[in-house]
Amino acid sequence: MAKFDEVAYYNRDDLLKVDHDSPPQTGWMDTPVDWRPGSYIYPGKAKNLKILDLPNPREWAVTDDDWKLPENWKQIVLEGMAERLKKYRSFKLFMDTCVRCGACADKCHFFIGGGDPKNMPVLRAELLRSVYRKDFTAMGKVLGKLAGARELTVDVIKEWFYYFYQCTECRRCSVFCPFGIDTAEITMFARELMGLLGLYINWAIEPVANCYRFGNHLAIPPHGMVDTLDFMVDDIEEATGIKLEVPYNKKGAEVLFIPPSGDYVAAPGIYTCMGYMLMFHELGLDYTFSTYASEGGNFGLFTSHEMIKRLNSKIYAEAKRLGVKWILGGECGHMWRVLHQYMDTCNGPADFLEVPKSPFTGTVFENARSSKVVHITEFFADLIRHGKLNLDPSRNDHIRVTFHDSCNPARAMGIFEEPRYVIKSVCNNFFEMPENTIREQTFCCGGGAGLGTDENMEMRLRGGLPRGAAVRYVQEKHGVNQLACMCAIDRATLVTVCDYWAPGVQVTGITELVANATIFKGEKKRTQNLRLEPIPGMEDEDEDGDEE
Amino acid sequence: MNATNVLVSLAAVVLLFLVGLLGGMGSGLGVLFGVVIPYLALAVFLVGLVHRVLTWAGAPVPFRITTTCGQEKSLPWIKQAKLDNPSSFPGVAGRMALEVLFFRSLLRNTKSELHEGGKVAYATSLGLWLGAMAFHWSMLVIILRHLRLVSSPTPAFVAFIQQVDGFLEISVPVLYVSTVLFLAALAYLLWRRLAQAQVRYISLFDDYFALFLLLGIGLSGFWLRHVAKTDIVAVKELAVGLATVNLGGAADAAARIAPLFYGHLFLVCALLVYFPLSKLVHMPGVFLSPTRNLANTNRMVRHVNPWDYPVKTHSYEAYEDEWREKMKASGVPVEKE
Spatial separation of the C-alpha atoms in residues A429 and A399, rounded to whole Å: 7
Distance in angstroms (rounded) separating the CA atoms of residues B132 and B182: 10
Reply yes or no on whether the pLDDT at A42 is more than 90: yes
DSSP-assigned letters across all residues of B29-86: -HHIIIIIHHHHHHHHHHHHHHHHHHHHHHS---S--PPP-SPPS-STTSPP-TTTS-
Chain A neighbours among B 46-75 (CB < 8 Å)?
A: 52, 55-57, 59-75
Q: Which of residues 129-148 of B touch A (CB under 8 A)?
A: 132
Give percent of chain A above pLDDT 90.
97
| In chain B, where the domains are located | 2-329
The pLDDT > 70 percentage for chain A reads: 98
Which residues does chain B have within 8 Å of residue A442's beta carbon, measured at their own beta carbons?
Answer: none
Q: What single DSSP character describes residue B303?
A: P
Inter-chain CB proximity B201 and A414 less than 8 Å: no
Q: Which residues fall within 8 angstroms of residue A59, CB to CB, at 6 or more apart? A: A45, A46
Q: Judge: A96–B67 Cβ closer than 8 Å, yes or no.
A: no
Q: What is the pLDDT of residues A95-144, one digit of tens each?
A: 999 999 999 999 999 999 999 999 999 999 999 999 999 999 999 999 99
d(CA A540, CA A547): 9
Contact A368 B299 (CB under 8 A): yes
Whether B165 contacts chain A with CB within 8 A: no
pLDDT digit string, tens, across residues A68-84: 999 999 999 999 999 99
Residues of chain B contacting A178 with CB distance shorter than 8 Å? 99, 103, 105-106, 132, 286
Alpha-carbon separation of residue B132 from B136, B142, B164, B177 (angstroms): 6, 15, 21, 16
The count of other CB atoms within 10 Å of the CB of residue A61 is 8
**Which pLDDT score, from 0 to 100, does residue B168 have?**
86
Question: What mean pLDDT comes out for the span A437-456?
Answer: 97
pLDDT of residue B219: 98
Q: What ipTM score was computed for the predicted complex, to two decimals?
A: 0.96
- Residue A346 forms contact with B (CB below 8 Å): yes
| Cβ-Cβ contacts under 8 Å, B69 against chain A | 175, 411, 414, 440
DSSP assignment letter at A44:
P
Tell whether B326 is within 8 A of chain A (Cβ): yes
Nearest CA in chain A to B195: A21
Question: Is A320 an 8 Å CB contact of chain B?
Answer: no
Of the pLDDT bands very low, low, confident and very high (cuts 50, 70, 90), residue A541 is low
Question: What is the least distance, in Å, from the CA of A240 to any CA of chain B?
Answer: 25
Topology adopted by domain B2-329: Fumarate Reductase Cytochrome B subunit (1.20.950)
Tell me what the pLDDT averaged over chain A comes to. 96
- φ, ψ of residue A509 in degrees (nearest 5): -90, 165
Does the beta carbon of B120 lie under 8 angstroms from any beta carbon of chain A? yes
Q: Tally the C-alpha atoms within 13 A of residue B322's C-alpha that lie toward its C-beta.
A: 15
Total CB pairs under 8 A between chain A and B? 326
Q: Which chain B residue lies closest to A306 (C-alpha atoms)?
A: B311
Of residues A511, A484, A231, A237, the one with CA closest to residue A375:
A511
A437 contacts in B (CB within 8 Å)? 122
Q: Which long-range contacts (CB under 8 A, 24 or more apart) does A18-22 make?
A: A18/A113, A18/A114, A18/A115, A18/B114, A19/A115, A20/A106, A20/A111, A20/A112, A20/A115, A20/B114, A20/B197, A20/B198, A21/B197, A21/B198, A22/B197
Q: What is the pLDDT of residue A540?
A: 66
Q: What confidence tens digit (pLDDT) does each residue in A261-294 have? A: 999 999 999 999 999 999 999 999 999 999 999 9
Over the stretch B151-197, which tens digit does the pLDDT of each residue have? 888 899 999 999 999 988 888 889 999 999 999 999 999 999 999 99
Average of per-residue pLDDT across A434-450: 97
Can you give the pLDDT at residue B143?
97
Would the CB atoms of B118 and A465 count as touching at under 8 Å?
A: yes
Nearest Cα residue in chain A from B79? A417
Question: Which pLDDT does position B169 carry in this prediction?
Answer: 84
A180, A468, A473: residue with CB nearest B105: A180
Chain B nearest C-alpha distance from A49 (Å): 14
Q: Give yes or no for A370 touching B (CB within 8 A).
A: yes
CB contact under 8 A, A342 and B105: no
Distances (CA, A) of A72 to A79, A250, B319: 11, 50, 36
Looking at residue B1, what is its pLDDT? 58
In chain B, residues with a C-beta closer than 8 Å to the C-beta of A112 are 112, 114, 120
Q: How far is B194 from chain A (nearest CA, A)?
A: 12
The answer to whether the CB atoms of B314 and A87 lie below 8 A apart is no
Contact B216, B182 (CB under 8 A): no
How far from A31 is each of A23, A116, A394, A454, B193, CA to CA, in Å? Answer: 10, 11, 57, 26, 21
Global confidence as pTM:
0.96
Please answer yes or no on whether B52 and A96 come within 8 Å at the CB atom: yes
Does A370 contact B299 at a Cβ distance shorter than 8 Å?
A: yes
Q: Is A417 on the interface with B (CB under 8 A)?
A: yes
Model pLDDT, residue A40: 98
pLDDT for residue A545: 45
- Cβ(A334)–Cβ(A311) below 8 Å: no
Write the residue in A345, A365, A413 that is nearest to B63 by C-beta: A345
Which among A29, A89, A107 has CB closest to B56? A89
Query: Low-confidence residues of chain B, pLDDT below 70?
Result: 1
User: Got the DSSP string for A71-90?
Assistant: TTHHHHHHHHHHHHHHH-HH
Residue of A178, A186, A19 lying closest to A103 (CA atoms): A178
Question: Which residues in chain A are contacts of B279 at CB distance < 8 A?
Answer: 96-100
Q: pLDDT at position B28, please?
A: 80
- The alpha-carbon gap from A133 to the nearest alpha carbon of chain B, in Å, equals 11
Chain B positions touching A358 (Cβ under 8 A) are none
What is the mean pLDDT of the segment spanning A419-425? Answer: 98
Give the chain A residue whose CA is nearest to the CA of B312: A310
Nearest alpha-carbon partner for A235 in A540, A527, A509, A530 = A530
Evaluate if residue A543 carries a pLDDT over 60. Answer: no
Mutation target vs B (from A106, A171, A477; most B CBs, 10 A cutoff): A106
Angle between helices A222-240 and A269-283 (to 10 degrees): 70
